[in-house]
Amino acid sequence: MNIASSAALPALLLIAALAAPVTLVVGRRNPRRAASAAQVAAGAALAAALWNIAGHGGSVDLPWLPTWGATLSFTFDGISAVYTLLASGIGLAVFIYAGRYLPLHLHHTHRPVSEATSFFALLTLFMGAMIGLATARDLLLLFIFWDLTAVASYGLIGFDHTEAARRGSLMALLVTVSSALLLLVGILLLDLTYGTFDMAELARRATPGTELSVAVALMAIAALAKSAQVPFHFWLPRAMAAPTPVSAYLHSAAMVAAGVFLLGRIYPLIERAPEIQRALVVVGVASMATGGALALVKRELKAILAYSTIGQYGYVVVMLGLGGPTGVGGAAFYVIAHAIAKSALFLTAGAVTEATGRRSLDDLGGLARPLPALAVGSGLAAAALAALPLTIGFFKDEFFFEAAHHDGPVMTVIAALGAALTFAYMARFWGRIFLGRLRRPAAVLPTAMVAPIGALGSLAVLGGVAPAPVAALASAAGAASLQAPVDLHPGYRLVLNAPNVMALAAWGIGAALVAALPWWRGLPLALAAAGDRIGPERWYRSTLDALDRLSDWIHDLEVRDLRSRVASVLVPAGVLVAAAVLATPSDRAFLAGSFQAGDLVVGLLLAIACASGVAAARQRNHVAMTLLLSGVGYSLAVVYAAFGAPDVTLVAVLMETLFALLFLTTLSALPQSLRERLRRRPIESARRRRNVIYATVAGAAAFITVWGILSKPAAFDSVAARQIALTPSAHAKAVVTAILADFRGLDTMGEITVIGVALLGLAALLTRRRQT
């Protein structure tokens, strides 16, 4: 088997697999080195990703689950290139930043430095999972990486051990991992229908139909939940409880991008389910509107960025829904541009909070003077997100406009309005932090915290001046999705074509929106209020509350005492027996044989046994109860004798005697006062009635069962005849002896061991009691 076509992909996968364990091992020795280990891992992954891009990828194929037909198969294609670059490149920048940020953060929150180890181990685990996700060709394998990103995210959101962190991490986990179950069902359905987990194979085999549409719909829901699209978007703002580097990396650039990555990956299938593809446009537009509007009115820095992320991925989803080379290729371009800009802005938010100790726009202003480098770096990133010319963001919008314009006038208007919203909230965000009056003095920031922001900002400008390399990456990704050549040509064309007009309109409207915000902010505020009251987050919370209440209610109903626990076995057993009787033919099911004179003795003995049993149940004196129960046993022993089984009779009589005596000895071992109390304790009448009902149900069920079984004569020869015939061969005179010591001697062996174990238990219980 050809394991790998070149060394580049195995190298990348190896780095991805080893990043977290190595970070963990290094960190356990010296927590201060954990950050360096993570940075080296990210650097190596970035180098390996570039090597793969230069070497035109390759593939790795290893056996994995032959029983289910899943393989460890990875391919490095255009889509892989985009997302591995994001994971490793943005990762490197964030890890460098976090290397300075985290010690300060831990210091502020009075926590030991050693916690840095688990932080960086989780970050590198996430990076590895993301690289695996981007390169996996087998969908079952892809699913494992998919959930692994969510697991890492859970640990990172909860990292701060606050109430908000705990709730936020649980919410993110529930939304992304529960929705992932739909992805799993989709994948398994595809395997069942088309017989393969391999995405490349599926792209060849899948034909439009109900199965495909259902599978694609399920997978798309999971993707939308992961990308924080309406109505699953509410987890993302809550995930902002994580330390800033996590928000910059997972919850803007990488993990949230996994959703649109999946849409790109399964695009060949989405194309064959046009109704689902159209639904993507609707969801995307809703997310654009919700995210954009709320980003415009939120005050907290990270909340603004979180809603902006929801909106921005809305654009990508719309573009994938619109389809075509510009839409699909442009979506990949959009993801790259957004990741660069947004991660820089998150890092800015963290740096601003670190310098001033504030996290709300209301407390900030005029920071351009004390922090000029930060202002420039983040300004470039903000410009990129707002799609100003000479930044990479200009082209992301250009492709978006082109795809929207191609679709029709409605989408054209929506696209321009959406871009206007982006422009407006970015202007507000950057302007309120860096311009105006200085409200708080700002501390000097370490270089390692500003440099990554500057680097990312420069990258945004570089992409705006020379967009060809990014366009080539996006084209390759688009080609992999569409399975047809895609050729994106970003460039500045000074003509009045549709995209340029839309861009101008967007800036104009955007500027007007932000200038007029005081007069119309009621609208987005009303939207936010409505969202709080009837939005999905409210549903989430009330569902959880309702489950909690239901749980307590059921828990209170649960039985606690031994009697009811016994009844809870007997009564359902009776019901099941009744169901079984009803489910089977009733014709001649219950027969009564004829009564002969010889049966009279047996009948009498059984009547005595019954009477003793009933009397024992009504007896309060324990000694009398014991004797009555022995009466049941003795009369049954005589019944055995009547059926000609002297061995059994002898054993029964002896055992009955022994047990009666042992029981009496046990009773005498109880303190007198306890015996008195047990005898005098009144039984309430309600309980007595219940006991009668339980006993009747159980007795009736047992009676019906035995009657039903005995009504049918044995249809086959019993093995007993052969055992009797073989008794002489066992050198025995009586078959019972031969059975006990020979034919079924192992049963005897087992039962005597049971007696031995009972003795052990008796000794353990009684000697303990003596000690206390």
Partner 1 sequence: MGDALTLMAPIAIFWAGGIGVAAIDGWRGMTARGALVVHLAGFGALALLAARVLTSGPVGMIAGNWPAGVGIRFRADPLGIAFALLSSLVLIVAVAYEAIGGTPTRAFPALSLFLAAGLTGLFLTADAFNFYVFFELSMISAYVLTAFGGQPRQLRAAVIFAVVNLLGSVIFLLGIVALYHVTGSLDMTDIAQRMAFAEQNPAILSGTLLFVAFGVKLGLFPFHFWLPAVYTGVRPSIAAILSGALTNIGTYGLLRFGGEMLPRELSLAAPALALLGTASILYGAVQAIGRAAPDEVVAYSAIGQVGYVMIALAIGGAAGYGAAILFAIINALNKTLLFLAIDLRGAFVGPAVAIGALSVAGAPPAAGFFGKAALFRAGLTVGDGAERAALVALIAAGGALSLLYMFQAFGRRYLEPRAEERPASGRGRRRLVAVVALSLLVFGCWPEPLIALSERAAAVLPGRLP
Partner 2 sequence: MITALTRTVAKLLFLPSLMIAVATLVKGYADVGDGFTAGVIAGLAVLLQVIVLGRDEVERMLPLRWAPRLAFAGIALALLDALAPLAFGQPVMTHLPPANVKPIHLGSLELLSAVVFDVGVFLLVFGFSVAAIDLLGRASPDRLP
Enumerate binding residues for partner 2 (CB under 8 A).
Answer: 646-647, 650-651, 654-655, 657-658, 661-662, 665-666, 668-672, 726, 729-734, 736-737, 740-742, 745-746, 748-749, 752-753, 755-756, 758-759, 762-763, 766-767, 769-770
Q: Specify burial of residue 720 (Cβ count, 10 A radius: 0-12, 13-18, 19+).
A: exposed
CA angle 692, 695, 699 (to 5 degrees): 135
Q: What is the closest distance, in whole angstroms, from the C-beta atom of residue 735 to partner 2 in the complex?
A: 12
Helix, coil or strand: residue 596: coil
Structure tokens at 31: 């927590």
Our finding on whether 192 is near partner 1 (CB under 8 A) is: yes
Kindly report the CA angle at 29 between 23 and 31, in degrees rounded to 5? 65
- The binder of 723, among partner 2, partner 1, none, by C-beta within 5 to 8 A per type, is partner 1
Q: Which residue number, 522 or 699, has a Cβ lying nearer to partner 1?
A: 699
If one asks whether residue 710 binds partner 1 (CB under 8 A), the answer comes out as: yes
Contact 59, 73 (CB under 8 A): yes
Question: What is the distance between the alpha carbons of residues 373 and 370, in angstroms, rounded to a whole number?
Answer: 9
Residues 225 to 254: which contact partner 1 by CB under 8 A? none
| DSSP symbol at 31 | G
Query: Out of 542, 711, 728, 766, which residue is the one contacting partner 1 (CB under 8 A)?
Result: 711
Does residue number 706 form part of the binding site for partner 1 (CB under 8 A)? yes
Residue 211 CB, nearest distance to partner 2 (Å)? Answer: 54
Verify binding: residue 641, partner 1, rule CB under 8 A.
Answer: no
Q: What is the dihedral of CA 670, 673, 677, 680, to 10 degrees?
A: 110
Q: Which is nearer to partner 1, 530 or 693 (CB)?
A: 693
Instruction: Tell me: does residue 542 bind partner 1 (CB under 8 A).
Output: no
Q: How far apart are CA 403 and CA 327, in angstroms?
A: 5
- Stretch 673-702: interaction string toward partner 1, x if CB under 8 A: -----------------------------x
> Mapping DSSP to helix (H, G, I), strand (E, B) and coil, where does residue 30 land?
coil
Q: What gap in Å lies between CA 546 and CA 556, rounded to an integer?
A: 15
User: In 3D, which of 324, 318, 338, 278 has the Cα closest to residue 488?
Assistant: 324
Q: How far apart are CA 19 and CA 15, in angstroms?
A: 6
Count of residues that bind partner 1 according to CB under 8 A: 100
- Can you say whether the dihedral through the CA atoms of 72, 76, 80, 85 is positive or negative? positive
Query: 585: helix, coil or strand?
Result: coil
* Residue 533 interacts with, from partner 1, partner 2, none (CB under 5-8 Å by kind): none
DSSP helix/strand/coil, 402? helix
Provide, rounded to whole angstroms, the least separation between the CB of residue 753 and partner 1: 6
Q: In this structure, are strands 70-75 and 59-65 parallel, antiparallel, or unpaired?
A: antiparallel
Q: Which structure tokens are listed for 723?
A: 């055992």
Which partner, partner 2, partner 1, none, binds residue 213 by CB below 5 to 8 Å per kind?
none
Composition of the chain by helix, strand, coil, percent to 5: 80, 0, 20
621 belongs to the binding site for partner 1 (CB under 8 A): no
Select the binding partner of residue 669 from partner 2, partner 1, none (C-beta < 5 to 8 A, by kind): partner 2
Nearer to partner 2, 580 or 763 (CB): 763
> 181 vs 516, which CB is nearer to partner 1?
181
Question: CB of 729: closest distance to partner 2 in angstroms?
Answer: 4
Q: Restricting to residues 64-93, which ones interact with partner 1 according to CB under 8 A? A: 64-68
Cα 380-315-364 angle, rounded to 5 deg: 40
487 makes contact, choosing from partner 1, partner 2, none, with CB < 5 to 8 Å by partner type, with: none
Q: Which stretch binds partner 1 (CB under 8 A): 184-192, 261-269, 302-310, 470-478?
A: 184-192
Of residues 124-183, those binding partner 1 (CB under 8 A): 140, 143-144, 147-148, 150-151, 154-155, 158, 161-162, 165-166, 169-170, 173-174, 177-178, 180-182
Cβ proximity to partner 1, 376 vs 702, nearer residue:
702
Closest distance between partner 2 and the C-beta of residue 644, in Å? 12
Contact 319, 327 (CB under 8 A): yes
Tell me the closest approach of the beta carbon of residue 406 to partner 1, in angstroms: 38
